[in-house]
Amino acid sequence: MLALFTLVGIVSLQTQGLAQDSAESTLPTLEAAGLSLEELADGIYGLIASTDFPPQDPMVAICNGGIIIGNDGVVVVDPFHNKALGNLLLQTAATLTDQPVRYVINTHYHFDHTGGNPAASAQNLPILGRGPIREFMLTRNSETDPQVTPPEVIINGAWEVWLGDRQVQVREFDGHSGGTDLIVYIPDADVLMLGDLLFNQRIPYVGDGHIRTWQATLQELKVAYPTATLLPGHGPVTSEQGIETLLGFLNDLEALALGWQANGVTAEEAKATPIPDVYKDFLFQGLFPIALETAYQQITLGQDDATAMQAYLQAQSVQP
C-alpha cells in the first residue's frame, strides 16, 4: 500500500490545494472552468475539460463530467475536484432540465472526479461508488482534501436505475484505480461514460493501475460496446478508435518493459525512456515517467501487487 501511496503522492504533490475549495461562494462559468458542454445524444451531455495537468488554477476542471436526463430524473457523473465545480455540474444540469438529480455517480475514487462530492451531499443527493471507494478516499484523498466526502451508496456488482423511460446501467471493470472503476452506460442512446478507464489524447495515469488488467478491460469494452459514443475520463469524446489508441499506448508500454527485461535495463535507464513520437502531442506529458516506472515494476520485474511494489521501491531507496 505504501508504494501505491508513493505513486499517488507524485500526483498529489502536483495538485496540493486543488481539492480545497478556495472560492466556495463563487460559481465559476463553464468557460472559466475550462469546460465545454457537449450533447452526446438526446438528453445526454458531457462536460469536456480541456486543461493540461496540473491545471494553472484550482477552479479549472481536470476531468470530464456527465449529465444523463430521463423523463423522470437525472443522473450526474463525476462532480470534478472541489465543491464549486461540483455545484457547477449540478447547476448546468438544472439549466438543461426541470427534472431533479436523483443520483451522483463517482466512476472511481481519484480526487479529480470526487472532490466535488460535497456539492452533492449539501443537497442530500445520494452519491454512488464502487467497492473499496470509501476506504480509498478516506485514507488517500484525505491527505490533500480536508472535505473528502466518500459515496454512501456502495455498488458491488451490476446496478441499474430507470429515469422514467431511460435506463442507466452501471458495470464494474478494472485496471485504472485498484478496484473502484465503474462504467455508466445508457442503452437507448448507446452512450458509454468510461471514467479513467479511457484517457483520450492524454497520457494516462497508470501509477495506481494494473497494466495487464487494463489491457484486458479495454479488449472487453471493445467487444461489449462496439458502436458506443464514448465519454472518456479525460479528453475529447470519441468512439472505439479512442479505446484502440489507449490500448496501443499500453501495448507499447508493455513492449518497452519486456525489452528492458530482455536487455537487463536498470530502473533508472528505463525511467529515462523518451516519449514515443506518436504520443508527443498528447496532454498530461508529466505522467509519462509514472507510466514507465509502473511498467518497469509490473512487467519488467513482474512485481504487480502492492507488497512487491513496496519491496521494489524500498530496494530502490524511493521514499514515500
Binding site for Zn ion (CB under 5 A): 110, 196
Which of 110, 130 has the CB closer to Zn ion? 110
Which of 7, 301 has the CB closer to Zn ion? 7
Residues in the chain: 320
The owner of cell 463530467 is: 65
Question: Measured from the CB of residue 3, what is the shortest distance to Zn ion in angstroms?
Answer: 18
78: left (phi over 0), alpha (psi -120 to 50) or beta: left
Which of 11, 120 has the CB closer to Zn ion? 11
Question: Measured from the CB of residue 43, what is the shortest distance to Zn ion in angstroms?
Answer: 26
The closest of 75, 73, 56, 55 to 65, measured between CA atoms, is: 75
Question: Measured from the CB of residue 73, what is the shortest distance to Zn ion in angstroms?
Answer: 27
Which of 145, 196 has the CB closer to Zn ion? 196
The closest of 116, 239, 112, 130 to 183, measured between CA atoms, is: 130
Which of 102, 210 has the CB closer to Zn ion? 210
Question: Measured from the CB of residue 311, what is the shortest distance to Zn ion in angstroms?
Answer: 25
Question: Measured from the CB of residue 112, what is the shortest distance to Zn ion in angstroms?
Answer: 7
Question: Measured from the CB of residue 20, what is the shortest distance to Zn ion in angstroms?
Answer: 19
Which of 73, 209 has the CB closer to Zn ion? 209
- Is 164 exposed, middle or buried, given 0-12, 13-18 or 19+ CB atoms closer than 10 A? exposed
Which of 102, 110 has the CB closer to Zn ion? 110
Strand partners, 153: 128
Question: Measured from the CB of residue 286, what is the shortest distance to Zn ion in angstroms?
Answer: 15
